[in-house]
Structure 1
């Protein structure tokens, strides 16, 4: 039986009993070979197991009780001894505590007694150190005069190396004598010697820098570094390099002026030589000035040189602008030279792993582009002059309206090509900094171009003249409409191009405040940048996505778009006038008689009654029936441009109906309106004349129906009122316009019963 399992933390009584039972059953089966000795069944085996194991457990429990009792007796008997030993330990602890307190008191007394002594020792040690320093200072002071005399002797014999060594010793001696009186005078004296050494070395330093003598220059770097004058040595280097580059600049200008060729490329030539100079000098300076940022000196030379060139780049460009006719080409060449120079220099710095600070980047941009700021301001006006000259050449008057329209069609593409070229020049010259001003100038140019459209429009209107039918004028009007639509489409495309450029410009200006990139926008001060950003914001507010085929409120050139719409409507009106001209000529024949002595006051030349319409009405009907054959060749399948122009003129053209039918309906509508106006001018109508007018209107109605249209509501109501019996006039006039009811009643002299 495994008694140890009873003390296990994971002891389970059931599992333990089952394990022991299975073990007991197996042992019992193996031990009893005679079947007569085996229990009769499993229950007997189980009872045997229980009896055996319960007796063993009782025995074990009894043994445990005995062991516990024995242990308890031992603890009770040993307890007095434990108590006695603990009391002894407590007494010893109290004694130790008293000894420690006594020792602490002794230590405090010793510290109080020795504290004054230690302070005295420290004071004595300090005095000793001061005395030692004073001794050394006095010793150095004794040798100061000797060093001075030796240094003077070196200066007299131009012994630069000896003077440098003596000056180093003098500097060390000065540091030691710092505690002695007269230190300020000695410091001034040392600075004077440094100045004399620098003056002695400066001619040779300049010569070494001019010749590029590496070994000699390295020695002078050590000398100037030793006396703390390395910044002055760098100034000598920059002065020599700037003088050399200044001579190179004057040489280039003199050669250009003498040869009188490629004058626009003077900046490119100078910048190329400047980049080559930097590439050579950066490596040389890295070897000579072998300390951190020593290779920055050629870059600083460029930054200091460009604003101080004589003559200045600004003055030279101004003189060339006055002397040449190709001013835009000159500015573009200068701007591209600036851009390429900075790009090449930046690429070289990246290749050389030279990273300039944000301040030096700003100084570099100012040095390269700063002089160009005035030309950026002047560029829009120069562009305006150039553009105006081009426009004046194409704004030519022609004898006929047809020639004028064809000329405008040919000019549209040229005009917008010129506009795009201007934008491209604006990008190349100003990096789009002048784009906002250029937009205003372009708006004025476009207005000038639209004035030419207006002149052509008036020319078409005058070409109508007294001709009854002028189909050439109609064709010119349609061609002008198509030309206006083409102008409108190109203007919309151009506006989207400008919008993209403005968005990019805004990103560039904003990025200059955060990114470490070279940007021409850095030449603008904060006020100028803020003004430019506000101007861009105003333009962008106008660029809300336009809805519909035509919208001018969301565009840069809103006034231009409004004028285009107005010109389209006026040209369409001219086309209508061309088509209505014969109608007006025929309607003149039914003007009311001016003979006041006439008894009937009938219209002139009007018969009293006829079953056929009057000749003038017949002629109008015949004219209307012939209109489709004239309109369909022009408008049955119009071009996309003409379709757009017509939609701008009248919303009816947006319907899925042939444009020829729409225009015919507008002609019929205007014809009915004119006819109605003529009828309403008649003062008196006898019954026979009323019937004649009714016959005329019915004939016109039939003609219009043949065209698939109907006469106007007003003319239809007049027909009803003319045919109404006088006795039932008011009853039959129900639903008609009161103004017409009154007018026809007065013409027919019908007495109102109300």
Structure 2
């Protein structure tokens, strides 16, 4: 996909050169339409390939809206089982493959932008080389005078033949001449798009690529967190014993350590692609920004998914609250290690879950929104069956 883009642009540049040589620029308006159409066809092929890559990467249904919530829950548990069957090596190969698609979008965006700028420059040259003086209110064979000049005010011998062809065509087609010079006037506007439809489609393709890459990068996180709100540990109670047993500190559960390890490993996966973007020292800063930007996107997405699951917990016992506070603390430490701020909502969950149940009401009442997110604090009270009345 990446190698095809320069090849297509070279073919289009050759087409422009042939058209200008053959017509002297009189067909510039038709040329622009043809180039736009060919670019649309090419980008459509890239988009079709991108759709197949979504299926290969296992995220072809991620972007679809799910009307049946029960179906979503069922699929979530199935996805969780599927991810256990995929090796880490295979997971990371899919991630690396998806990241390489970013270079395709970058290549298409930069190459098409340069090509469009070249087209604008070509139109500008035609405009300055082909000057039309119109006498009367309309242009026809009896009421027209055409002057062809170069930059020095005189026709150049090398341009004479091609421009003479343009003159012949335009004098015999006054309506076409008006259309052409209207285009040439518009091309002087900095906001002018020589390939208006293709430019929009390039942007749409880049957005689709970013969406695919994000869906792939967040896929494992989404699968690991899919059933967190319904884990049985939240409603578990301490077993009573006639013997005095020592209490042990809880350890973070596997779902959150799996997510944390994935996030901590992700920068290493982004590094090769960032190095590929950084061909020289001048681009080192851009490469670092690229890696950091995607790292933050995935970490923020993971945090949002986790908080969504926490909000879905219906009831939690003291034992469950202790366990969940440990899980949240672990993820918060991971975010800090990635130089990411811990969201106030997550901090509020941790504070309210780690506070003894009989002290929670006093904590919330005395805070008044200074340290806690009050709506989240009220939700935790509801989950822990603590009345604030």
What TM-score does the superposition give when structure 1 sets the normalisation length?
0.39
* Corresponding position of 1:510: 132
Alignment partners' CA distance in 2, 1:481 and 1:424 = 31
1:523 and 1:630 mapped to 2: Cα distance? 58
In the other structure, the counterpart of 2:333 is 702
> Per-residue deviation at 1:688?
2.7
Please give the secondary structure, in 1, of the residue aligned with 2:146. coil
1:424 aligns with 2:17: yes
CA separation of 1:709 and 1:746: change in aligned 2, threshold 3 A:
same
Query: Could you list the per-position Cα deviations for residues 349-383 of structure 1 after superposition, in whole angstroms to 9, with x for gaps in the alignment?
Result: xxxxxxxxxxxxxxxxxxxxxxxxxxxxxxxxxxx
Report the count of equivalent residues: 317
CA distance in 2, matches of 1:471, 1:460: 15
Corresponding residue number in structure 2 for 1:749: 385
Shift of 1:449: 1.0
Shift, 1:664, TM fit: 1.9
Structure 1 segment 146-165 matched on structure 2, within 5 A: none
Larger radius of gyration between Structure 1 and Structure 2: 1
- Determine if contact 1:460/1:473 at 8 Å carries over to the other structure: no
Aligned-residue RMSD, C-alpha: 3.0
Alpha-carbon distance, 1:533 to partner: 0.9
Higher helix share: 1
- Structure showing greater relative contact order (alpha-carbon pairs closer than 8 Å, 6 or more residues apart): 2
Map residues 560-571 of structure 1 onto 2, 5 A cutoff: 560-571=198-209
Residue 726 (structure 1) aligned with residue 360 (structure 2): yes
Kept in 1, the 8 Å contact 2:325–2:354? The answer is yes
- CA distance in structure 1 between the partners assigned to 2:95 and 2:48 by the alignment: 16
- SS of residue in 1 equivalent to 2:277: coil
Partner secondary structure for residue 412 of structure 1: helix
- Specify the SS of the correspondent of 1:510: strand
Judge conservation of contact 2:275–2:287 (CA < 8 Å) in 1: no
Structure 2: unaligned runs, 5 residues or longer: 59-81, 134-144, 150-154, 239-248
For 1:410 and 1:452, the matched residues in 2 are separated by 14
In structure 2, the partner of 1:523 is 169
Instruction: Quote the residue 1:538 is aligned against.
Output: 186
Q: Deviations over 1:533-573 (max 9, x none)?
A: 112223333x34xxxxxxxxx42224323332332233223
Q: CA deviation at 1:416?
A: 0.9
Candidates 101, 112, 134, aligned match of 1:491: 112
Distance 1:567 1:739, change over 3 A: farther
CA 1:539–1:738 in 2, change beyond 3 Å: closer, same or farther? Answer: farther
Report Cα offsets for 1:228-279 as digits up to 9, x if no partner.
xxxxxxxxxxxxxxxxxxxxxxxxxxxxxxxxxxxxxxxxxxxxxxxxxxxx
What are the ranges of 5 or more consecutive residues in structure 1 without an aligned counterpart?
1-407, 545-553, 593-602, 645-652
> Are 1:583 and 1:671, in contact at CA under 8 Å, matched by a contact in 2?
yes
TM-score, structure 2 as length reference: 0.72
Tell me the equivalent position of 1:559: 197
Residue 578 of structure 1 deviates from its aligned partner by 2.0
* Shift of residue 434, structure 1, vs aligned partner: 0.9
CA distance in 1, matches of 2:28, 2:340: 53
Alpha-carbon offset, residue 738 of structure 1: 4.4
Shift of the 473–510 alpha-carbon distance from structure 1 to 2, 3 Å rule, reads farther
